[in-house]
Amino acid sequence: EWRGSRIGLWSKPIVGEVDPEILAAVVRVAHLLEEAGAAVEPISLPGGDVLATFNILWSAGAANRVSKIADKDRLQLDPGLLRAAEIGGCFAASE
């Protein structure tokens, strides 16, 4: 039962473009949900630079995970993950 439901339709990615076929499929589903009684409203993500926020959260999470791995085992990790963890370790919780 969709009647009375509120659905946010976010159609703009953080970076790049949405494939037109994918967007068309999402819009078709949104129309079906509206026909079923839902209120579908376009939304945008709050804040300015969402990609920068993602990068901070992702690298801080990587730092947390890597910190729990023994030094000798870190040699087996992907160098990109190690670099992200190094960057993430520089952020304070207030950032």
Identify the pLDDT of residue 33: 98
Chain segment 15-48, per-residue pLDDT in tens: 789 999 999 999 999 999 999 999 999 998 777 7
Domain ranges of the chain: 6-42, 50-88
- Alpha helix (H) ranges present in the chain? 20-35, 50-67, 71-74, 79-88
pTM of structure: 0.55
Contact 81, 48 (CB under 8 A): no
Identify the pLDDT of residue 45: 76
Take residue 43 and report the two structure tokens written for it. Answer: 């939304």
